[in-house]
Amino acid sequence: MTWDTEYALSILPRLLRGLLVTIEATFAGIAIALVLGLIVAVIRYLRIPIISHLFTFYVSFVRGTPLLVQAFAAFFILPDYGITMSALLTGILVVGVNYSAYTAEVYRAGIEDVDKGQWEATTALSLPGRPTWTRIILPQAVRKIIPVLGNYWIQMFKDVAILSAITVSELLYTAQTIGSSDYRYLEPLTIVGLLYLAVSYPAAIIVRRLERRLAFSR
Amino acid sequence: MPSPAESIDAESPEPANGSDEMITFENVSKSWGDNKVLQGLNFHVKPAEKVSIIGPSGSGKTTILRILMTLETPGEGVVTVDGDELWNVAAGQRIPRETKQMRLTRRKIGMVFQQFNLFPHLSAIQNVMEAPVQVLGMSKDEAHERAKDLLDMVGLGEHLNHKPPKLSGGQQQRVAIARAMAMRPKVMLFDEVTSALDPELVGDVLDVIRDLATSTDMTMLLVTHEMRFAEEISDRVVMFDSGIAVEQGPPKKIFKQPDNDRTKKFLRAVLEH
């Protein structure tokens, strides 16, 4: 099989539409993960008996099972219980919930990374809880959190490809569809690889720059 | 013109509630596991008194300051500040939660830490302004004015907008002193504030503390290894060992003619090396 540029150009628009779906699913997943992750992190931090333990189990459960298994479970089992959603919405929820567990851990690590002396200084100055969190602790934690989250977001962008298994018409699924109807895989899969790289490589550079800028200059 | 240090300490040094003590520790104990850090400590400090606490490391000196700042809980005992109860813990009682009374009493106390603990993402002047604005509800302009005066006083008028990582250790510690002063505390705690500094930077920090000691009527409690400095500025020196105040008195007495063997041994060790 030899490379056919004309054919490659003819399928490019469809693949770009697939890429758009991948990017949309990534952003929606990020939004869910950020909010749900914060809720999980705060509840675990508050150490409420039983409830905090349940969320600790939630994090272990989500991190301990493959994303593909979670996607299949949501796609094939939930409709049996009367919960029906489009493949795309199911996929977004699965990715968002999956990454919320990692995001919660990133929040926790970022907050724990703030020096104990910072908390002691806020006590010594009698700063109340809210400014302590919003003006002292979180601004320092965010500097640690943002670069780590950025790397997770890039990983999520690539993980959205797993949703092709539940017929979400994202980038990889589009390429598979083209391949199985035209019996050509070289061009679609090559373009898919290049498109992933074209997004994730610059994104990785941006995250690295951000990390350097947010670090305290010593 | 009055020195800035004088003008910022307008409050009366006399404690409320007619008590003539600014700080009292009654039968205060504290343990870490089997290690008794404080053993039935009884300790009083008068208003405006400058007290230095000396002794070997691990002798419970810093714990006294940390209990006053509510950074640690006593296992047992009563602690009052300015006539108000800060701690009242019966033996075996569960650790009491933070109360409103505790929060209000704590406002009368300021603390300077060994590791400075400045907020690294805020400039020097923002570090000093933060508590007056957030806690006292002071306007930004007024807080800025006060912060600028205080930073001038500690010799950092040129560094208002520098963030802590850009300042030397000695400069950071002077910002930390200004930050604590901004709340106009009646009691100021200094916890080994020169121990983390390079030797050539110690002098500037001690100069600032000396200024405060001579020009204000703040009650000052210093845990220090700077024996000559303690001798110079203190009204009283307390020697601590193994959780007990083994000896106390005027600095001349403690440093020149100590009675207690442990004091003698400790001073020999730190002065003749």
ipTM of the complex: 0.89
B187-207 pLDDT per residue, tens: 999 999 999 999 999 999 999
Which of B229, B226, B210 lies closest to B5 in space, CA to CA? B210
**Interchain pair B71, A120: CB under 8 A:** yes
Query: What's the average model confidence in pLDDT over B115-123?
Result: 96
In a domain, A83, yes or no: yes
β-pairing, B35-45 vs B236-241, is unpaired
In a domain, B93, yes or no: yes
In a domain, A138, yes or no: yes
Amino acid identity of B168?
A: S
B184 part of contact set with chain A, CB < 8 Å: no
B101 part of contact set with chain A, CB < 8 Å: no
In a domain, B182, yes or no: no
**Interchain pair B113, A121: CB under 8 A:** yes
Phi, psi of B216 (to 5 degrees): -125, 165
pLDDT profile of chain A (218 residues), mean per 10? 92 96 97 94 86 91 95 94 93 97 94 94 94 92 91 96 95 95 95 97 94 71
Phi-psi region of B30 (alpha: psi -120 to 50; beta: other; left: phi over 0): beta
**Interchain pair B106, A126: CB under 8 A:** yes
Partner A, chain B 60-89, Cβ-Cβ below 8 Å: 69-71
A121 part of contact set with chain B, CB < 8 Å: yes
Share of chain B above pLDDT 70, in %: 93
**Can you give the pLDDT at residue B84?**
93
Which of A17, A7, A136, A84 lies closest to B179 in space, CA to CA? A136
d(CA B213, CA A184): 85
Partner A, chain B 148-177, Cβ-Cβ below 8 Å: 163, 165-166
In a domain, A202, yes or no: no
**Can you give the pLDDT at residue B199?**
92
pLDDT of B231 > 80? The answer is yes
In a domain, A186, yes or no: no
Count of structural domains, chain B: 1
Q: Which domain holds residue A57?
A: 19-169
Count of structural domains, chain A: 1
In a domain, A122, yes or no: yes
DSSP characters over A26-52: HHHHHHHHHHHHHHHHHHHHHT-TTHH
B125-136 pLDDT per residue, tens: 999 999 999 999
Query: Which CATH number fits the domain that encloses residue A118?
Result: 1.10.3720.10
The DSSP 8-state label assigned to residue A217 in this structure reads: P
pLDDT of B57 > 90? The answer is no
* B106: nearest CA partner in chain A: A126
Give the pLDDT band of residue B9 (cuts 50, 70, 90): very low
In a domain, B87, yes or no: yes
A115 part of contact set with chain B, CB < 8 Å: yes
Residues across chain A:
218
Give the pLDDT band of residue B6 (cuts 50, 70, 90): very low
Which of B100, B118, B219 lies closest to B163 in space, CA to CA? B118
**Using alpha carbons only, what angle is made at residue B67 by residues B63 and B72, rounded to the nearest 5 degrees?**
85
Query: Residues B183, B130: contact at Cβ < 8 Å?
Result: no
B68-100 pLDDT per residue, tens: 999 999 999 999 999 999 999 988 787 777 888
Give the HSE-up count for residue A139: Cα atoms under 13 Å, Cβ half-sphere: 12
d(CA B28, CA B180): 26
Query: What's the average model confidence in pLDDT over B238-262?
Result: 93
**Can you give the pLDDT at residue A216?**
61
Give the pLDDT band of residue B272 (cuts 50, 70, 90): confident
In a domain, B125, yes or no: no
d(CA A127, CA A119): 10
Average pLDDT, chain B: 90
In a domain, B42, yes or no: yes
pLDDT of B101 > 50? The answer is yes
**Can you give the pLDDT at residue A211?**
86
**Can you give the pLDDT at residue B8?**
42
Partner A, chain B 112-151, Cβ-Cβ below 8 Å: 113, 115-121, 130-131, 134-135
Q: Closest approach of chain B CAs to the CA of A132, in angstroms? A: 9
In a domain, B147, yes or no: no
Q: Which domain holds residue B254?
A: 11-107+224-271
Give the pLDDT band of residue B50 (cuts 50, 70, 90): very high
In a domain, B112, yes or no: no
Q: What is the dihedral sign for C-alpha B169, B175, B178, B180?
A: negative
Which of B110, B78, B80 lies closest to B17 in space, CA to CA? B80
Going by C-beta distance under 8 Å and a sequence separation of 6 or more, which residues neighbour residue B263?
Answer: B239, B246, B247, B254
Query: Which CATH number fits the domain that encloses residue B242?
Result: 3.40.50.300
pLDDT of B18 > 90? The answer is no
In a domain, B48, yes or no: yes
Burial A24-54 (b: 16+ CB within 10 A, else e): ebbebbbebbbebbeebbebbeeeeeeebee
Which tokens belong to B93? 């009682």
Query: Residues B205, B194: contact at Cβ < 8 Å?
Result: yes
In a domain, A190, yes or no: no
